Structure 1
């Protein structure tokens, strides 16, 4: 069994069967699937994979002969490097904001702006625009505590709707609007002006999250999923804070600080990296350049979240002056919750990494290279299949753009290549499941079970992706921009 498609099927059976059928902990099911996939992957496929990543033939042979355990551990560590500190700090921020009353204060301020009935609209728009400059995982970590506080505020109702609106806004901005990493890569690969992608991506994103909003309303009526107790967010504690007088809560500025500081500094760093020339001073003033360097230092996502955690703890201590002796226990409780998410997410990264090493992306590219279909749906189809197969939206984007860049150059498109970028971004939403690290972050931060996430989050993203394809095709026909 050397065909990547067959190996993928085996991995799917192990993960889904293990978690849903055998009730295995996701960490064990994902690592088991990663092990079996690695065992089934031939050495020749590994060598080809490493060569495709830029290794020399000699280095590829060495890498391909690493032990299976080392390869799994390497992918596990790579995922931890990307999300480990973020999740740990976000866990501290989330618990601190809930316990200090910061989340409740923000929810009350949002309710004054939107009203109770329109609160989900506030959530979906907030998560969409926040995700444009900030990593989607960071926005999910910061918004989910607010969704929990809002649900309590609404009488423990509509929790699923709030969760889905947060996710809908975040994932669509992550696919369509630079300087999010995926769209930023696409504009370079397909030679599309970044400003045009930002405008078109924002318009399409707002349309698709509208679809997601109506799905969230429907799903909330169909499935009654309550806000559950969690070690770091007990319902009775959230309810107690929800009933506090406004004077007992922190000022709005302090309540926002743990979330706003990371978001603002990350936004500034993202803007500078996207638009400023490297190693060129931004101003003629040494003082201003030094100030900008300080802001850019704190704009690193790991440092920004660490600073946010420090601010969150300071606000907590301000509100609970008697808590200083118990701060260690408080942080430990938060980190226990975050640690479980890190392990599951990293195991998902290992599984996805082992799938990539089978050559699944290249296999799908070969299957579709002579597929005579219009380029826009073809772009969507290739991206969706690769994303569903191996879990990584980034790998799916890279694979599709690599295939379609050549087609776009050799074909008379009849429309602006920005529409190919949008179709690829839409295809990257299909279909999130257990081989996607983001799936586990959504599950664990929202306290949805895997089964609940598969029947709510996965269909919503699929529907929004399909809506994105349809709208892109209509726009390319009506407004070709050539």
Structure 2
């Protein structure tokens, strides 16, 4: 049986299970992996498929589980402690009332890194509606600024689940084939840089849409939940403390990347003591754990009266646990895909002077198609990251793997529509009709993702960094 056919069957099972039968993405990915495992050739393809699936699932869970759990704790504690609100207010104070949409854009981007996009929107839309009461002509501008900032960070900058899963999936194959791996610090830096470029594009579109469409702020069934009333009794942490849970992990990971680049990859004992300490703290698991500890301290001190911290942590881990299951299932799906021999089958097509461009285009288009088919940006990145990792077995990249990871991130943006939960959150909480949401939110994200991919493609040709 053709490896390409087996992989197409696996993808069809995943997408069909989510779309037609409304299965949870975790179950859909595991089912797809099971089907491909049965079809794939090799020893004990029937009898051993369960064991191979479990081993691949465990490996994937071990690589991303702790990171995602700690990121979930950071995000939840930022919300409970008021640190997230303080960050938004800090940016609004920095830019002033006239340029408040830029404050929404910047704070949305920063909060979109540790906090899920839907939650960022829930947090910020009351502030947007309050701002729009005195500036009704800028309602859509402010609303789209929040969307532009939060959505791009979610797909480009670790430790959000999509980017970090893509990095781990690609690295597993890159390490096995002796190719240059993608350091998490490099992914953070690249994601931040590309993120800034794409949110500028989104903001420019928001300016145009605000001027052309003239959509008013309407009362909705959720208006009572989206009107902000400041609580004079609520203590918020200072801005300098509020940003620490986000900034500290970034700094530690980047410092670890710098040490590795200065001394090269070697055993830990080859580094000086200071270097060993930096590497220990710069490990993604340790860095996120430190960030989570700081976030917990903030929540302990600034949480609302009567709120129990153990319940806050439990809520965070419950949400993070679902994402861990999905990402680990994606890793299992990718590992089983490798067993089909798909890399060897497509080796000739991914060779030659234009091989790099082909790989990037396939990654972007495939992610976009999966996103449009089932609605979730994270699931599309997990699925495509696993597939591209299986393709890399027989291909030697002529550019840094950063570009491939960013292409997948950009591919998760185009085409959001009615099967995307974020579409309905934005529509219902903003009061926009479905048509208005399509021509504002959907068009803007498609434009941002496409421009981001073009930037990645051009950069990979000019500065391959191979």
Above 0.5 in TM-score?
A: yes
Which deviations, in whole Å up to 9, do the C-alpha atoms of 1:163-209 show, x marking residues without a partner? Answer: 44334356557899xxx8879x79x9589xxxxx9999998775555
How does 1:116-155 map onto structure 2 within 5 Å? 116-123=100-107, 126=110, 139-141=113-115, 148-155=122-129
Q: Using the TM superposition, give the Cα deviation of residue 349 of structure 1 relative to its aligned residue in structure 2, in angstroms.
A: 2.3
Partner of 2:430: none
Which deviations, in whole Å up to 9, do the C-alpha atoms of 1:307-354 show, x marking residues without a partner? Answer: 222222221221248558x32222222221111222222222222322
Partner of 2:23: 24
In 2, distance between residues paired with 1:293 and 1:39? 45
Partner of 2:92: 111
Partner of 2:286: 303
In 1, distance between residues paired with 2:197 and 2:393? 23
How does 1:220-235 map onto structure 2 within 5 Å? none
How does 1:34-433 map onto structure 2 within 5 Å? 34-43=33-42, 67-114=48-95, 115-123=99-107, 126=110, 139-141=113-115, 148-155=122-129, 162-169=146-153, 171=155, 207=197, 210-211=200-201, 243-245=230-232, 248-277=235-264, 278=266, 289-290=273-274, 293-320=276-303, 323=306, 326-369=308-351, 374=354, 377-381=357-361, 383-384=363-364, 391-393=383-385, 396=388, 403=395, 427-429=407-409, 431-432=411-412
In 2, distance between residues paired with 1:342 and 1:480? 32
Partner of 1:10: 9
Determine if contact 1:98/1:238 at 8 Å carries over to the other structure: no
Determine if contact 1:35/1:72 at 8 Å carries over to the other structure: yes
Q: Using the TM superposition, give the Cα deviation of residue 380 of structure 1 relative to its aligned residue in structure 2, in angstroms.
A: 3.2
Partner of 2:32: 33
- Pair 16,164 (structure 1): closer, same or farther in 2 beyond 3 Å: farther
Unaligned regions of 5+ residues in structure 1, if any?
Answer: 44-60, 128-137, 192-196, 227-233, 284-288, 406-416, 434-441
* Aligned-partner SS, 2:101: coil
Q: Using the TM superposition, give the Cα deviation of residue 377 of structure 1 relative to its aligned residue in structure 2, in angstroms.
A: 3.5
Unaligned regions of 5+ residues in structure 2, if any?
Answer: 131-138, 182-186, 371-381, 414-419, 428-436
Which deviations, in whole Å up to 9, do the C-alpha atoms of 1:350-390 show, x marking residues without a partner? Answer: 223222322223322234447xx756644534655787899
In 2, distance between residues paired with 1:219 and 1:23? 34
Q: How many residues align?
A: 402
Q: Using the TM superposition, give the Cα deviation of residue 306 of structure 1 relative to its aligned residue in structure 2, in angstroms.
A: 1.9
Q: Using the TM superposition, give the Cα deviation of residue 107 of structure 1 relative to its aligned residue in structure 2, in angstroms.
A: 0.9
* Aligned-partner SS, 1:154: helix
* Aligned-partner SS, 1:262: helix
Which deviations, in whole Å up to 9, do the C-alpha atoms of 1:90-115 show, x marking residues without a partner? Answer: 22221111111111111111112234
Q: Using the TM superposition, give the Cα deviation of residue 298 of structure 1 relative to its aligned residue in structure 2, in angstroms.
A: 2.4
Determine if contact 2:10/2:35 at 8 Å carries over to the other structure: yes
- Pair 247,35 (structure 1): closer, same or farther in 2 beyond 3 Å: closer
Partner of 2:377: none
Which shifted more, 357-366 or 152-161?
152-161
* Aligned-partner SS, 1:341: helix
In 1, distance between residues paired with 2:226 and 2:335? 38
Which deviations, in whole Å up to 9, do the C-alpha atoms of 1:45-104 show, x marking residues without a partner? Answer: xxxxxxxxxxxxxxxx69x78711111112211221122112222222211111111111
- Pair 394,301 (structure 1): closer, same or farther in 2 beyond 3 Å: same
Which deviations, in whole Å up to 9, do the C-alpha atoms of 1:191-245 show, x marking residues without a partner? Answer: 9xxxxx9999998775555445556778998999x9xxxxxxx9999977x7234
- Pair 336,253 (structure 1): closer, same or farther in 2 beyond 3 Å: same
In 2, distance between residues paired with 1:141 and 1:80? 20
TM-score, normalization: structure 1?
A: 0.64
Determine if contact 2:80/2:303 at 8 Å carries over to the other structure: no
